[in-house]
Amino acid sequence: MLLSVIALTCFKPVQLNDDAKRLYHDLLVQNKYNKLIRPVGNNTKEPLTVKMGIRLSQIIDVDELNQVMTTNVWLRQEWRDVSLQWDPKEYGNISTIELPSKNIWLPDIVLFNNADGNYEVTLMTKATVKYTGCVVWEPPAIYKSSCTIEVEFFPFDIQLCSMRFASWTYAGDQVDLIHNCSTSTNAREVIFNGIDLRDFYESGEWDILEVTAEKNVNNNIDYPDITFNVTMRRKTLFHTVNLIIPSVAISCLTILVFYLPSDSGEKITLCISILLSLNFFFLLLSEIIPPTSIVVPLIGKYLLFTMILITLSIIVTVITLNVHFRSPSTHTMSPWVRRVFLNILPKMLLMRRPNLESEKVARTFVRTRNGVEIRDQYVSRRDFEYETMRLTAADEVEDKDTDLSVEVQEAIDSICFIAEHLKKGDNTASVREDWKYVAMVMDRLFLWIFTVACVVGTFGIILQAPTLYDNRQRLTPVASSYRCVPPVENIQGLYTASRSEHTMCFTPRQ
C-alpha cells in the first residue's frame, strides 16, 4: 500500500517533466524556430508591439564629478511571439514554460545614454512564455547612465536623471516600443509613477521625488524610445556637517580677528591661517562637483564670499596695525582724525576711555625762584600752583643777592635737562596712546561691520536653496502589485505635447 502511494506521488512530476521536455522540443526544434526572424508570422508589414517597464531596485551611486548615475534595475519586456503558441491540453495542461532567452527572439532593447559602453543586458536569464505566445523577459541589470548634474544649488540641489531605452536594430515600423502602462501606441504620452518602486532599496544620499516615463518619437528618424526620468533630492545632512558648518565657522573666525589685541602680534597670523584653511575647502569642493563654467555652485558662492571677507580683513588689519604703532616722530594726528576717532566714534560704538586729565595723579613741574623745577607725583596740579605761589612770595622776602656755588648750579642744570626730557617723553607716550586708541576704535568699528556682513551674507546665500522650501514627500517602496490604474487627477502644466495622455501607474502608498 505504501509503495503504491509513493509510486502515484512520483508519477505525476515525471509525467509533467516529460510534457515540458516534449513542449520545449516541439517549440524550438521541431518547428524549426529561428531566433533571428521577427516573430510576426505572415503580417510582416505590421509592427511588433513590445511593452517595456523597469523596476528600480537601488540607486547605487550618483557621480557628480563624472556626471554618471549607477542604478540596479529589472528590465521588464513583454511581446507576443506567434511561433511560441501551443494547446495546453496536448502537453499535460502546461500553460507556461521557461525558455532560455538566448534561444528565442529578443527585441535588442539597449540603454542609449549609457556612460560605460555596455549597452545590452549582460545576464541572460530565462524568459517566461505563455501558451498564447506572450513572452515576458525580466533580466536584472546594472546600468551606468549619463546624467547632467545641475550644480547651481549644491549641496541643496535637485537632480533629474534619465534612462533612454530603444531598440538598437528595429525602426518604429518593425518594433513599436510602448510602456507597460501605456494606453495608446501612437500618441506621445507621459506616465506618472512610471517606474516600479516595490523593491526599491532607499538611498542614504538621495530622496526620490518623482518617477515618470515618456515615449518619444523622432519624425525624421522613426526610432521610438522610452525615457524614464528620476527626480531626486539630495539629503543634506552629510554636506551640512562636513561643508556648511565648517565654512560658517571659518567665516566667524574672520570676525574674531578684530577682537584680538594688536599688541599680541598674532592678528596677521590668524588671518593667514584662516585663508589657508579656506583653500582646503576649495580643493575639497573641486573634487566633488564637475568642472563647469556655466554656473557657480551655492557652496562655492559662500566660500568665495568668505574668501573676500578674509582678504578684506587682512587689508584692514594691516592698516590697523600701521595706525597702532604710529608715533609723533613719524606721523602727526590731524584734527579731524582726533575728533572722529577720539570723540565721535567711541560714543557711537559704546566705548569708554579712562579720563586721564581729571584729578589725576600727574607728574607736574613747578619752577621756583632759583630756576629749579620741583616734581611731585603725589599731589595734584592745583596743589602745586598754590604751593608755588606761596614759595615765591616767601622767597621774595629773602635776600635776593644769595649766590649759588658752581657745583650746585651744574646740578640744577642737569636736573632741568632731565626734567625736560621726561616731559617730552610723557608727551610722546600720550600721543602714542592716542594712536593706539584710534586703532582700537577702528578694530571695534570693523568688528561690527564684518559681523553684519557675515550674518547677512550667510543667510542671503544659503537661503537661496530651493530645497529649503520644497515640501514634497519622498516616494517610498510601493506595496501594491505592478498594475496600471486610471488617473486619480488631471495634472496640468507639467508637460506639454501636441497629443498627451496621462496615466497613473504603481499607485504610491498613502
Q: What is the pLDDT of residues 486-507, one digit of tens each?
A: 433 333 333 333 333 334 444 4
14-30 exposure pattern, b = at least 16 Cβ within 10 A, e = fewer: eeeeebeeebbeebbee
Q: 2 in a domain, yes or no? A: no
Site of grid cell 545590452: 120
- First-residue to last-residue Cα distance in the chain: 57
Q: 6 in a domain, yes or no? A: no
Tens of pLDDT, residue by residue over 67-115, are 999 999 999 999 999 999 999 999 989 999 999 989 999 998 999 999 8
Reference 212, options 197, 230, 196, 226; nearest CA is 230
Contact 72, 60 (CB under 8 A): yes
Cβ atoms within 10 Å, residue 244: 18
Q: Domain of 50: which CATH number?
A: 2.70.170.10
Position with higher pLDDT, 295 vs 378: 295
Q: Residue 11 above 60 pLDDT?
A: no
The pLDDT value given to residue 280: 87
Q: 22 in a domain, yes or no? A: no
Question: Looking at the structure, do residues 206 and 263 belong to the same domain, yes or no?
Answer: no
d(CA 257, CA 313): 8
Question: Looking at the structure, do residues 337 and 278 belong to the same domain, yes or no?
Answer: yes
**What percent of the chain stands above pLDDT 90?**
32
Question: Looking at the structure, do residues 377 and 271 belong to the same domain, yes or no?
Answer: yes
Question: Looking at the structure, do residues 355 and 446 belong to the same domain, yes or no?
Answer: yes
The pLDDT value given to residue 454: 94
The pTM (predicted TM-score) of the whole model is 0.73
Average pLDDT over residues 361-375: 47
Q: Residue 224 above 80 pLDDT?
A: yes
Torsion of CA 438, 443, 445, 448, to 10 degrees: -170
Q: 312 in a domain, yes or no? A: yes
d(CA 164, CA 177): 12
Question: Looking at the structure, do residues 441 and 491 belong to the same domain, yes or no?
Answer: no
481 DSSP assignment: -
The pLDDT value given to residue 507: 40
Position with higher pLDDT, 246 vs 353: 246
User: Predicted confidence band at 207 (pLDDT cuts at 50, 70, 90)?
Assistant: very high
d(CA 144, CA 260): 53
Q: Which of 360-374, 415-429, 467-481 has the lowest mean pLDDT?
A: 360-374
Question: Looking at the structure, do residues 278 and 160 belong to the same domain, yes or no?
Answer: no
Q: Residue 357 above 50 pLDDT?
A: no
Select, from the ranges 6-10, 278-282, 397-401, 413-417, the one with the highest average predicted confidence (pLDDT).
Answer: 278-282
In sequence order, what DSSP letters do the residues of 72-132 get, joined into one string? EEEEEEEEE-GGG---GGGGTT--EEEEEGGGS----EEETTBSSS--S-SS--EEEEETT
Average pLDDT over residues 233-258: 90
The pLDDT value given to residue 248: 92
Average pLDDT over residues 179-195: 78
The pLDDT value given to residue 76: 93
Element holding 229 (H helix, E strand): strand 225-234
Question: Looking at the structure, do residues 155 and 288 belong to the same domain, yes or no?
Answer: no
Contact 490, 502 (CB under 8 A): yes
The pLDDT value given to residue 460: 94
Contact 213, 229 (CB under 8 A): yes
Question: Looking at the structure, do residues 320 and 416 belong to the same domain, yes or no?
Answer: yes
Q: 12 in a domain, yes or no? A: no
The boundaries of the domain holding residue 276 are 237-394+412-471
Q: 208 in a domain, yes or no? A: yes
The pLDDT value given to residue 233: 94
Question: Looking at the structure, do residues 228 and 243 belong to the same domain, yes or no?
Answer: no
The pLDDT value given to residue 410: 66
Site of grid cell 537661496: 464
SS3 391: helix
Question: Looking at the structure, do residues 260 and 387 belong to the same domain, yes or no?
Answer: yes
Contact 304, 248 (CB under 8 A): no
Q: 72 in a domain, yes or no? A: yes
Question: Looking at the structure, do residues 202 and 253 belong to the same domain, yes or no?
Answer: no
User: Predicted confidence band at 381 (pLDDT cuts at 50, 70, 90)?
Assistant: very low
Tens of pLDDT, residue by residue over 117-133, are 776 777 888 999 999 99
Domain tally for the chain?
A: 2
d(CA 322, CA 369): 46
258 DSSP assignment: G
Question: Looking at the structure, do residues 371 and 445 belong to the same domain, yes or no?
Answer: yes
Grid coordinates belonging to 296: 557657480
Q: Residue 193 above 90 pLDDT?
A: no
Tens of pLDDT, residue by residue over 56-71, are 999 999 998 889 999 9
User: Predicted confidence band at 366 (pLDDT cuts at 50, 70, 90)?
Assistant: very low
d(CA 486, CA 504): 6
Q: Residue 305 above 90 pLDDT?
A: yes
Q: 198 in a domain, yes or no? A: yes
Cβ contacts of 125 within 8 Å, gap of 6 or more: 101, 137, 138, 139, 140
Tens of pLDDT, residue by residue over 313-335, are 999 999 999 988 888 778 888 88
